[in-house]
């Protein structure tokens, strides 16, 4: 499968090279062509006996066809096992009200990012070894909270790699911050950047294309790569759970083979929901992908009007992993649905950089609307949804999942047919409620929560709900803080240079 830069069709890589490189030099993201995905459509009925690993193998050998079968098996076994995921179960599906919850938070850091970031280091080191390369891979990662810890955990002491994570000073939850500050491993570092997530993301993209840094890397035998969802090695693992969830729902007699279902996805960088779109192109019977945003509703506006406008205030919310104004992976959707029109994408992204906005034409917008609908939920609506889910559905959900559930309710409210039928819908539950214990507890409990510390919150949530507490979070209490560096934007580049020269 050839991978093209979304901004230049002459920039082509095979999968192993694209995974190592992360982002193309022209700023584009590596992506297959639309027709190359569709030509690999499968018959979902023939996959019903697949378990998660079998579906993962199918997807990985489709997209990463320069990996041998043995290499793919090794990667899967090292990532999707009982050490990393509760009972080895990567994406269990459960019921919530009339709908379903895809529980993606049973991995080592209790967020869905683990699904891709447990396997990306395996892909990367496999690709690297088979090239016989002797350079060190330096992973730079911008995080809105969850990617950072998942990447630090996935790359911890992985041979021939070093990793630096940048998180925004005030944009992450206390628990998220503590998870990163207490990271273990000889090859890891963590920096708090004075700014927001978009600054972190811009920094990383800028460092990739910086000529001084390029030269230094060559001199020091270092190659830069990325663990962000701009890396195709992040995106592809996320396709698997959409397909597997469909299979699981058929096998549990919740739906009939061929029935269409919806997925509602709490969205920030547009990576997770884009993976759902690719699962649809591959033949999964999906009707709508519901793009759920919080108060930062730039994607809601875009999907409804065709105008992407980042010139607005970034709100800090209780769903920090979605506090994003520039959704990187949207670029891949524009590429795919414009018929791989890299010139168009290049112009749009140029306009976004220079003017802060772009507009797509009606025909492209209509193609997007065929597959996507978009809603947003305010902070108050999300809080109420957590309370309602606890009281009515007897489920405890995190602040991001709550945005998705609130948006689903809006979708059902406006799209239910007269006979009250609506398609079965799966909510992607992207984080454990324990990761945002303080805010979740505040929604469901009447006593004063503001004055109690995070660990008391964890215990209280546990007593109140009986939901098992993730071990990695319980263990934070006694861990040493190793990383407390805070840097201004301009200083970060020198931090990176220092690491390259080490
Ligand atoms: C990253 C994240 C999201 C957003 O996913 P994208 O792929 O960036 O759209 C939603 N919820 C949680 C908990 C996350 O960590």
Domain with residue 429: its CATH number is 3.40.50.1100
Number of structural domains (the chain) is 1
Pocket test for ligand 1, best of 110, 171, 241, 267 (most atoms within 8 A of CB): 267
CA separation for the pair 439, 320 (Å, rounded): 12
Residue 324 CA, chain-centre distance (Å), reads: 12
Pocket test for ligand 1, best of 146, 278, 319 (most atoms within 8 A of CB): 146
- Residue 487, strand partner residues: 193
Ligand 1 atom with the smallest distance to the CA of 431 is 13
CA separation for the pair 166, 82 (Å, rounded): 29
pLDDT at 416: 63
Name the residue with the closest Cα to ligand 1, atom 14: 321
The token pair at 106 is: 């049973």
User: Is 327 contained in some domain?
Assistant: yes
CA separation for the pair 336, 278 (Å, rounded): 10
- What is the block-wise mean pLDDT of the chain (502 residues), using blocks of 10 residues? 98 96 91 98 98 98 98 97 92 96 96 96 92 86 90 93 93 90 96 93 90 95 88 97 98 96 97 98 98 98 98 94 93 98 98 97 98 98 97 96 97 71 90 94 87 91 92 92 96 96 88
Ligand 1 atom with the smallest distance to the CA of 435 is 13
Instruction: Mark out the alpha helices in 211-329 (DSSP H runs).
Output: 211-219, 232-251, 271-281, 298-305
CA–CA distances in Å: residue 78 to residues 121, 130, 177, 228: 10, 17, 27, 20
Name the residue with the closest Cα to ligand 1, atom 2: 321
Distance (angstroms) between ligand 1 centre and the Cα of 3 equals 24
Ligand 1 atom with the smallest distance to the CA of 238 is 7
CB 24 within 8 A of CB 362: no
Distance (angstroms) between ligand 1 centre and the Cα of 288 equals 19
Pocket test for ligand 1, best of 266, 330, 402 (most atoms within 8 A of CB): 266
pLDDT at 447: 78
pLDDT at 421: 63
113 is catalytic: yes
Ligand 1 atom with the smallest distance to the CA of 398 is 13
Distance (angstroms) between ligand 1 centre and the Cα of 430 equals 7
User: Is 293 contained in some domain?
Assistant: yes
pLDDT at 390: 96
pLDDT at 487: 97
User: Is 270 contained in some domain?
Assistant: yes
User: Is 16 contained in some domain?
Assistant: no
Instruction: Mark out the alpha helices in 43-172 (DSSP H runs).
Output: 52-63, 69-79, 113-117, 120-130, 146-155
Distance (angstroms) between ligand 1 centre and the Cα of 137 equals 25
CA–CA distances in Å: residue 31 to residues 260, 273, 396, 485: 26, 15, 37, 35
Name the residue with the closest Cα to ligand 1, atom 12: 430
CA separation for the pair 284, 62 (Å, rounded): 15
User: Is 394 contained in some domain?
Assistant: yes
CB atoms within 10 A of CB 2: 13
CA–CA distances in Å: residue 52 to residues 283, 285, 414: 17, 18, 34
User: Is 491 contained in some domain?
Assistant: no
CB 199 within 8 A of CB 489: yes
CB 471 within 8 A of CB 458: no
Ligand 1 pocket, CB under 6 A: 111, 113, 146, 229, 266-272, 321-322, 400, 430-431
User: Is 267 contained in some domain?
Assistant: yes
pTM of this prediction exceeds 0.85: yes
Distance (angstroms) between ligand 1 centre and the Cα of 256 equals 30
Q: Are strands 372-376 and 286-293 parallel, antiparallel or unpaired?
A: parallel
Q: Which of 16, 21, 53, 113 is catalytic?
A: 113
∠ CA 106-112-117, rounded to 5°: 100
Distance (angstroms) between ligand 1 centre and the Cα of 321 equals 5
User: Is 316 contained in some domain?
Assistant: yes
Domain that holds residue 409: 93-109+235-435
Distance (angstroms) between ligand 1 centre and the Cα of 207 equals 23
Contacts 24+ apart (CB under 8 A), 306-311: 306/359, 306/360, 306/361, 306/362, 306/364, 306/365, 307/357, 307/358, 307/359, 308/348, 308/352, 308/357, 308/358, 308/359, 308/360, 309/356, 309/357, 310/352, 310/356, 310/357, 311/356, 311/357
């Amino acid at each position: 499968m050839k991978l093209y830069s979304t901004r230049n069709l002459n920039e082509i890589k095979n999968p192993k090279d694209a995974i190592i490189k992360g982002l193309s030099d022209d700023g584009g993201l590596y992506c297959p062509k639309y027709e190359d995905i569709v030509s690999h459509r499968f018959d979902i009925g023939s996959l019903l006996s697949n378990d998660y690993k079998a579906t993962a193998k199918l997807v990985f050998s489709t997209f990463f066809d320069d990996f041998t079968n043995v290499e793919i098996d090794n990667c899967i076994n090292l990532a999707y096992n009982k050490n990393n995921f509760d009972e080895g179960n990567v994406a269990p599906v459960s019921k919530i009200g009339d709908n379903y919850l895809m529980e993606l938070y049973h991995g080592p850091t209790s967020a869905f990012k683990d699904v891709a970031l447990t396997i990306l280091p395996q892909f990367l080191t496999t690709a690297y070894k088979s090239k016989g390369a002797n350079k060190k891979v330096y992973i730079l990662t911008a995080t809105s909270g969850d990617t950072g810890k998942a990447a630090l955990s996935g790359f911890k002491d992985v041979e021939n790699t070093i990793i630096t994570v940048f998180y925004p000073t005030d944009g992450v939850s206390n628990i998220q911050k503590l998870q990163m500050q207490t990271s273990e491993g000889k090859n890891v570092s963590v920096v708090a950047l004075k700014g927001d997530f978009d600054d972190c993301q811009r920094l990383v993209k800028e460092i990739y294309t910086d000529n001084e840094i390029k030269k230094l890397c060559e001199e020091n035998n270092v190659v830069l790569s990325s663990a962000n969802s701009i890396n195709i090695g992040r995106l592809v693992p996320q396709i698997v759970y959409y397909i597997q969830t469909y299979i699981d729902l058929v096998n549990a007699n919740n739906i009939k083979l061929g029935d269409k279902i919806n997925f509602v996805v709490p969205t920030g960088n547009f990576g997770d929901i884009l993976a759902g779109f690719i699962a649809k192109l591959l033949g999964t019977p999906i009707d709508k992908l519901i793009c759920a945003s919080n108060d930062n509703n730039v994607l809601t506006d875009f999907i409804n009007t065709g105008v992407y406008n980042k010139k607005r205030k970034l709100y800090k919310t209780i769903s920090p992993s979605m506090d994003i104004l520039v959704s990187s992976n949207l670029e891949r959707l524009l590429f795919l649905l414009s018929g791989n029109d890299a010139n168009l994408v290049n112009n749009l992204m140029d306009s976004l950089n220079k003017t802060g906005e772009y507009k797509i034409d009606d025909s492209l917008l209509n193609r997007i609307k065929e597959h996507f609908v978009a809603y947003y939920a305010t902070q108050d609506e999300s809080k109420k949804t957590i309370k309602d889910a606890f009281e009515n559905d007897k489920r405890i959900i995190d602040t991001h999942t709550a945005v998705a559930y609130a948006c689903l309710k809006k979708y059902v409210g406006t799209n239910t047919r007269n006979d009250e039928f609506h398609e079965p819908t799966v909510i992607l539950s992207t984080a454990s409620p324990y990761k945002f214990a303080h805010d979740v507890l505040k929604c469901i409990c009447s006593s004063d929560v503001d004055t109690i510390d995070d660990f008391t919150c964890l215990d209280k949530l546990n007593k109140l709900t009986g939901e098992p507490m993730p071990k990695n979070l319980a263990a934070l209490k006694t861990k040493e803080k190793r990383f407390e560096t805070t840097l201004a934007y301009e200083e970060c580049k020198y931090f990176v240079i220092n690491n390259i020269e080490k």
